[in-house]
Chain A
Amino acid sequence: MSISQMIEFVAVVVIFLGSVMSVISAFGIIRLPDVYTRSHAATKSSTVAVLLSLSGAFIYFWVSEDFISVRLILGILFVFLTAPVSGHLLTRAAYRSKVKLTENSSDDALKEVLFPEDK
């Protein structure tokens, strides 16, 4: 097995890990009880999934075709820039339109700030 084949194998493993992560995050979006916990799954796991599969593709193209794809790097960069912002805005909008937290939530420091009249 030559070096380039080994690195290709590494790239394949990285892409596989990425797809596993995206399956897990899809599970999370279905399984978790409310919007806020779902946004954890949506922001973190799926960012990691996209990161892993894009960097796997980057490594593969680099080794097998000697092609450094700047677009893949830009893709990673923009996912990192946009995923947290969208997660933040979704949870913020959900809280402001009074979506309830799940039942066994313990602490809610935001309530007295945003809705002081509901006490």
Chain B
Amino acid sequence: MPAQFLLNLFIAFLWTTLQDEDELKMTTFFSGFIVGIFIIFLMHRFFGTQFYLRRLLSIIKLLFIFISELAQSSLLISKQILNPHWDLKPGIFTYKTELKGDWEITTLAMLLTLTPGSVVMEVNPEGDMFYIHAMDIEQSKADVMRSITKFEKAIMEVTR
């Protein structure tokens, strides 16, 4: 992976020199760097290693998933709050996660707390069982499960 970064720097350097400007400009170097990212993204499978910005890409992907889930959940919550006949059934259910390590579990718990109909209440000491409070356990449990698996996949892409 450092080889890819060096190659990218080299492409940027070539780009700046081949532009043949009167002075050395940082902006030209940066545009060369971006062109280099493109080239390496197209060629990285020939190196036999993973793309070195893959982690960055998956962080951006996680961010987008998170924003869309947050928008959905706030809509859902405001609908539930403004509903004049409040007859939901709240409850607590468990979820066993496959994620390991402090970072992954903390991230998942934070994302879950901010997304559809769920607040993480407790994580067991081993750190693999979540106790989640859901606003409407019958209706929204399926939704919550769906978004949990989505998040889990995205987090795994970032950390592994």
Please list the residues of chain A having a beta carbon within 8 angstroms of any beta carbon in chain B.
Answer: 21, 24-25, 27-28, 31-34, 36-37, 39-41, 43-45, 47-48, 80-81, 83-85, 87-88, 91-92, 95, 101-102, 104-110, 113-114
Chain B, interface size category, equals 20 to 34
Binds A, one of B8-16, B20-28, B51-59, B84-92: B84-92
Chain A: minimal CB distance from B154 (Å): 16
Please list the residues of chain B having a beta carbon within 8 angstroms of any beta carbon in chain A.
Answer: 70-71, 73-74, 77-78, 81-82, 86-94, 109-111, 113-115, 117, 119-122, 124, 131, 133, 135, 137-138
A47→B115 CA distance, assembly (Å): 11
B114 touches A104 (CB 8 A): no
- The number of A-B residue pairs with CB atoms under 8 Å apart is 111
Chain A: minimal CB distance from B25 (Å): 22
Chain A to chain B contacts (Cβ below 8 Å), 11 pairs: A25-B81, A34-B90, A84-B120, A85-B110, A88-B109, A88-B120, A91-B119, A91-B133, A104-B88, A110-B92, A113-B122
Chain A contact residues, majority secondary structure: helix
Chain B: minimal CB distance from A16 (Å): 15
A31 touches B113 (CB 8 A): no
